[in-house]
């Protein structure tokens, strides 16, 4: 790590905590109904929808409401994509802004994948935004789901925390009220302010048709030849066939980018307006916008730690969870940046200077965001995969094997290091329950967390919540590398190809959405396989988490005694870190050994 890299990391964490603290006070106020204006504005909405806001429900009804809400979301996003070609389109007419490029309907399998992807807060994108989605689809389908999927994650964690905070209660909240409040008073205001800031920094926001410009120089490049089946043509050795291209004209994609970008980051969604995501200059124009985008990914997950502390009446509990996340995050960020700064030993052997100097960045610059360098690219990669965001500014596929393993492992830990909005904290609280259970086993005492006895039922639910995603990732990867359509999508042979499949399944099942690059995933096989992983990885965890919430809410609160394990100190933080890492390693080390670890060892072997 270079000096500026350390400084970037330190400033980032400092500003993050300074922003998260006041935001937590606001979220707590809104979600507990203590914001006066809230009830006056919401009342007509509830009357219109036939909702009685004062009536709360048990966990099963709460979960069913969420499932219906998100199921309808899938249908709506799917329908808009399939119908965009017949809705008003073309550069003329009163609704020209719907679809000025006259983009056709999205294929059924891709539309399904995208619908599930955006509803589950994954935002995996098998498509390229500017060549596939109309402005109407981007706004009404994808951006709306960015809000609603983020709201879903937040209300689940609020319900879980209510389970800890309440005692002898059957209800964990009103799902419709919670969804309304978090969308209306947290996500919308933050996004509006952030979108305006982004426009000020140069992110575009318009409904213009794409613009054709003439470049100053003739540009020559090579790109993979695409066959009639839409897949890259490969030679006898399985390598992609490249064809030379040249030209002096370029089409510049336009669109309402800032309004989608703001919630894409704040809601840890990550689905880019453009195919290049946050590496596109219209989506991330400067180092300042890059820094703000990195901050916006973590700000709600960090604030929710404080919200948790406030709701359970002990802010130290929130600090302990936040400390756990920060320590894990710093370790992974330092690892990723260091591996990339060390560079590729094979290039060094050929005479490339791997050391950073005033004249060159050193290290491994392949696939990095050239404007921001290795430190910012490595930090962004760590942030976007620690959170379940998935926005990218660098190609993780081009990282060194161990550098690329960092984002992969962060996803495989279950997206609990900050994680997605809401989902990161409820995932970490599930691990906290597991940690007190392990501690209870060690000292021979019935485990308890925040005054709630942890018993058989909670542990069954914790087991389901923890095991669902590894099951999906490992089985899905096995299917992908065994099935012919799965292998056909891999660009690279050997260990790196295996990593491409493992990364895609890890990203989908843990609802991250970032891509490793190299995998041709817009095929019926991958669209369906990944949609399945995304849906089950999201709601297969939410359901047992809500079951835990319901079970805990009904329990009485136990008094703190001399035998109670303190869960706000360094000992518990260490225990929680150990639990997260141990479970992650036990689940994934064999698979990682076949991918990035083998690839790393091959770097040192004769070619």
Partner 1 sequence: MDIVVLLIAAALWLAVYGLARACAALQPGGGRP
Return residues touching partner 1 (CB under 8 A). 57-60, 63-64, 67, 71, 74-75, 78, 82, 108-109, 111-112, 116, 170-171, 457, 460-461, 464, 528, 531-532, 535-536, 539-540, 543-544, 546-547, 550-551
User: CB-wise, 170 or 239, nearer to partner 1?
Assistant: 170
Q: Least distance to partner 1 from the beta carbon of 386, Å?
A: 26
User: CB-wise, 222 or 456, nearer to partner 1?
Assistant: 456
Q: How many CB atoms lie within 10 A of CB 39?
A: 14
Residues belonging to the chain: 607
What single string gives the DSSP state of each residue in 475-540?
HHHHHHHHSHHHHHTBSS-HHHHHHHHHHHHHHHHTT-----SSB---SHHHHHHHHHHHHHHHHH
Give strand ranges (E) for 185-343: 211-224, 242-252
Q: Least distance to partner 1 from the beta carbon of 498, Å?
A: 27
Pull the structure tokens for residue 332. 């992974």
Q: Least distance to partner 1 from the beta carbon of 532, Å?
A: 7
Q: Is the CB of residue 549 less than 8 Å from the CB of residue 175? A: no
Q: Least distance to partner 1 from the beta carbon of 39, Å?
A: 25
User: CB-wise, 517 or 528, nearer to partner 1?
Assistant: 528
Q: Least distance to partner 1 from the beta carbon of 554, Å?
A: 8
User: CB-wise, 63 or 433, nearer to partner 1?
Assistant: 63
Q: Least distance to partner 1 from the beta carbon of 58, Å?
A: 4
Q: Is the CB of residue 513 less than 8 Å from the CB of residue 278? A: no
Q: Which residue has the tokens 């989605």?
A: 133
User: CB-wise, 28 or 56, nearer to partner 1?
Assistant: 56
Distance CA 264, CA 203 (A): 13
User: CB-wise, 198 or 531, nearer to partner 1?
Assistant: 531
User: CB-wise, 110 or 341, nearer to partner 1?
Assistant: 110
Q: How many CB atoms lie within 10 A of CB 530?
A: 27
User: CB-wise, 330 or 459, nearer to partner 1?
Assistant: 459
Q: How many CB atoms lie within 10 A of CB 408?
A: 25
Helix axes 524-554, 456-482, angle to 10 degrees: 170
Q: Least distance to partner 1 from the beta carbon of 468, Å?
A: 9
Q: Is the CB of residue 503 less than 8 Å from the CB of residue 543? A: no
Using CB atoms within 10 Å of the CB of residue 370, give its burial: 0 to 12 exposed, 13 to 18 middle, 19+ buried: exposed
User: CB-wise, 120 or 506, nearer to partner 1?
Assistant: 120
Q: Least distance to partner 1 from the beta carbon of 67, Å?
A: 6
User: CB-wise, 496 or 555, nearer to partner 1?
Assistant: 555
Q: Is the CB of residue 17 less than 8 Å from the CB of residue 24? A: no
Sign of the alpha-carbon torsion through 414, 416, 418, 422: positive
User: CB-wise, 36 or 168, nearer to partner 1?
Assistant: 168
Q: How many CA atoms lie within 13 A of 566 on its CB side?
A: 10
Using CB atoms within 10 Å of the CB of residue 372, give its burial: 0 to 12 exposed, 13 to 18 middle, 19+ buried: buried
User: CB-wise, 60 or 603, nearer to partner 1?
Assistant: 60
Q: Least distance to partner 1 from the beta carbon of 503, Å?
A: 23
Q: Least distance to partner 1 from the beta carbon of 574, Å?
A: 31
Q: How many CA atoms lie within 13 A of 539 on its CB side?
A: 20
Give strand ranges (E) for 144-264: 211-224, 242-252
Q: Is the CB of residue 398 less than 8 Å from the CB of residue 517? A: yes
Distance CA 513, CA 520 (A): 15
Q: Least distance to partner 1 from the beta carbon of 467, Å?
A: 12
* Cα first-last separation, the chain: 28
Q: Which residue has the tokens 């393993």?
A: 405
- Of 300, 271, 232, 177, residue with least CA distance to 507: 271
Q: Least distance to partner 1 from the beta carbon of 544, Å?
A: 6
């Amino acid at each position: 790590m270079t000096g500026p890299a350390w400084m970037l990391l330190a400033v980032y964490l400092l500003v993050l905590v300074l922003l998260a603290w006041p935001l937590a006070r606001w979220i707590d106020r809104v979600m507990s109904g203590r914001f006066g204006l809230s009830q006056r504005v919401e009342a007509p909405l509830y009357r219109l929808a036939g909702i009685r806001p004062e009536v709360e429900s048990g966990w099963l009804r709460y979960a069913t409401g969420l499932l219906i809400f998100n199921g309808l979301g899938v249908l709506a996003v799917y329908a808009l994509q399939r119908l965009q070609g017949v809705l008003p389109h073309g550069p003329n007419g009163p609704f020209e802004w719907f679809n000025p490029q006259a983009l056709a309907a999205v294929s059924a399998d891709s539309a399904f994948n995208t619908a599930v992807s955006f509803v589950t807060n994954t935002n995996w994108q098998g498509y390229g935004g500017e060549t596939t989605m109309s402005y109407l689809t981007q706004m009404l389908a994808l951006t709306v789901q960015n809000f609603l999927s983020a709201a879903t994650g937040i209300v689940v964690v609020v319900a879980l925390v209510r389970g800890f905070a309440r005692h002898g209660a059957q209800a964990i909240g009103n799902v419709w009220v919670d969804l309304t409040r978090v969308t209306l008073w947290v996500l919308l205001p933050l996004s509006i302010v952030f979108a305006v800031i982004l426009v000020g920094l140069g992110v575009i926001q318009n409904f213009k048709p794409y613009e054709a410009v003439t470049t100053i120089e003739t540009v020559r490049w090579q790109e993979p030849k695409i066959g009639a089946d839409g897949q890259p043509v490969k030679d006898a050795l399985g390598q992609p066939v490249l064809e030379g291209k040249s030209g002096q004209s370029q089409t510049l994609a336009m669109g309402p980018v800032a309004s989608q970008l703001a919630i894409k980051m704040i809601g840890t969604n990550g689905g880019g307006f453009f195919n290049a995501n946050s590496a596109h200059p219209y989506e991330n124009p400067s180092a300042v916008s890059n820094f703000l985008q990195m901050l916006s990914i973590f700000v709600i997950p960090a604030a929710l730690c404080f919200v948790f502390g406030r709701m359970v009446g002990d802010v130290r509990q929130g600090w302990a969870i936040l400390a756990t996340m920060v320590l894990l995050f710093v370790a992974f960020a330092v690892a990723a940046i260091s591996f990339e700064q060390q560079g590729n030993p094979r290039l060094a052997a050929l005479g490339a200077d791997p050391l950073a100097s005033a004249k060159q960045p050193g290290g491994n610059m392949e696939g990095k965001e050239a404007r921001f360098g290795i430190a910012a690219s490595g930090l962004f990669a760590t942030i976007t995969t620690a959170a379940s965001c998935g926005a990218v500014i660098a190609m993780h596929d081009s990282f060194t094997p161990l550098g690329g393993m960092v984002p992969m492992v962060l996803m495989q830990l279950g997206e609990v290091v900050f994680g997605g909005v809401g989902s990161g904290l409820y995932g970490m609280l599930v691990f906290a329950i597991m940690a007190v259970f392990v501690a209870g086993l060690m000292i021979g005492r019935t485990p308890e967390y925040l005054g709630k006895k942890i018993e058989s039922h909670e542990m069954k639910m914790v087991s389901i919540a923890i095991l669902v995603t590894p099951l999906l990732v490992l089985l899905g990867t096995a299917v992908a590398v065994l099935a012919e359509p799965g292998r056909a999508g891999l660009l690279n042979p050997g260990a790196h190809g295996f990593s491409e499949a493992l990364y895609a399944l890890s990203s989908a099942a843990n609802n991250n959405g970032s891509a490793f690059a190299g995998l041709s995933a817009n095929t019926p096989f991958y669209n369906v396989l990944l949609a399945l992983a995304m849906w089950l990885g999201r709601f297969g965890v939410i359901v047992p988490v809500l079951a835990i919430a319901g079970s805990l809410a009904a329990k009485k609160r136990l008094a703190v005694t001399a035998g109670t394990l303190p869960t706000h100190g360094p000992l518990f933080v260490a225990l929680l870190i150990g639990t997260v890492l141990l479970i992650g390693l036990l689940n994934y080390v064999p698979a990682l050994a076949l991918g990035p670890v083998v690839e790393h060892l091959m770097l040192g072997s004769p070619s």
